[in-house]
Chains A and B, each alone.
Chain A
């Protein structure tokens, strides 16, 4: 029941929560048996970076501040890098704090990309912070974050 608490709090915060619930929102939400926590995200990040220092900067994460539906949220990640043989981005990891698990995607690129600029669409189970961490060719790690408010569709149908 923990999982529905945050959603319900969010609904109430919008003022029209009751109306949305009445129209079926509560009857077919995503099942989130155990959602990750900022601590779980921290652990997932540590798995990737080990004991290395992660410096905020160079990584820009573009997500709509307010998403119309958490099932499909456009995401673009850009890393400042000359993308040369000597100085480029090797991999970009994306993490969330409140999805069932923190890992979202990892993109492996190299100097042949020309630019470190990738887009995709992700799922967000709740309003939360999304973080991207890039590893450069010198082994250093850089990060960027964005906050997304996830709103709910007004009318849902029954679960499958």
Chain B
């Protein structure tokens, strides 16, 4: 079993990151005109996999979601583009997965589905697919502003053993390479995504936890308010960009 790298390597890592960050003029946020979906930064073959519905493995989940949903309705068109959204009962924003589970529990008297379960991913993919091509449109008002601010602060906060913030990579170093991979701007335009690395569909929360583990920070549990705040900030940061769900990413 490949264990964690030895300590000297870890020190080397930190040195490399510090050098990379020192070399870049630390920018603030990405100007609107320069925003690019991760789609634009990936290879031709991966883009082709997303573009063709008969080749996009995420469509297997959309089909599952459609049969779970049972009755077809146009009412969910555009919904995915508006989440996370404020929920009066929680007194805070909830994300699309939480909204779907709320519907199940309250209206269908069905048990909530587990995070990353096939059924929850399938339903989310089915709903999100109906917002494909629509601009991201989260609502920021007096009720959601504090949570947006919390998400923004989390995005810029250095954390984990590597002491790295999201912003240091995704605002300042996007387009550069980390090993062989291009660093994207971290716009949540394709969720839930079929990630080649996962060999499956996964939620934005899974991706965020993944990033936290990568920086050797302790990842928040699925459903944690901190993750939803980050989701809200990322969606706001991508406001107006078009949804691609189900996206394919490396």
Contacts and interface: CB of A to CB of B under 8 A. Distances in A.
Contacts of B49: 72, 74
Nearest to A64: B45
Contact of B215 (A14, A16, A23, A74): A23
Contact of A154 (B2, B9, B178, B213): B178
Given A26-B4, A154-B214, A18 B9 contact: yes
A26 B9 CA distance: 11
B213 A69 contact: no
Contact of A156 (B1, B4, B17, B197): B197
Contact of A68 (B4, B15, B178, B181): B181
Interface of B: 1-5, 9-10, 12-17, 20, 42-46, 48-49, 162, 177-181, 183, 196-197, 199, 206, 209-211, 213-216, 250
A100 interface: no
A85 interface: no
A138 interface: no
Given A149-B180, A154-B183, 18 more contacts: A14-B179, A19-B17, A21-B5, A22-B13, A22-B17, A23-B178, A66-B180, A67-B45, A68-B180, A71-B197, A71-B199, A72-B196, A74-B48, A151-B180, A155-B210, A155-B214, A156-B197, A156-B210
A59 B83 CA distance: 50
30 contacts: A11-B179, A14-B179, A18-B16, A19-B13, A19-B20, A20-B178, A22-B10, A22-B14, A22-B17, A22-B216, A23-B178, A26-B4, A27-B2, A27-B3, A27-B4, A64-B44, A64-B45, A68-B43, A68-B45, A71-B196, A149-B180, A151-B181, A152-B180, A154-B181, A154-B183, A155-B210, A156-B197, A156-B213, A157-B214, A158-B213
A153 interface: yes
Contacts of B209: 157
A136 to B, nearest CB: 29
B17 to A, nearest CB: 6
A153 B250 contact: yes
Nearest to A29: B2
A159 B44 CA distance: 29
Contacts of B177: 14, 16
A19 B19 CA distance: 11
User: By CB atoms of chain A within 10 A, which of B20, B197, B209, B211 has the most?
Assistant: B197
A67 B44 CA distance: 10
Interface string A1-44: 00110000001001011111111111101010000000000000
Contacts of B4: 26-27
The 7 closest A-B pairs by CB, nearest first: A151-B180, A22-B13, A20-B179, A155-B214, A69-B196, A68-B250, A154-B178
Given A16-B178, A69-B196, A156-B197, A21 B13 contact: yes
Nearest to B177: A16
User: By CB atoms of chain A within 10 A, which of B16, B20, B162, B199 has the most?
Assistant: B16
Given A66-B43, A68-B250, A24 B16 contact: no
A68 B46 contact: yes
Contacts of B250: 68-69, 153
A67 B211 CA distance: 22
A71 B248 CA distance: 13
Interface string A117-155: 000000000000000000000000000000001011111
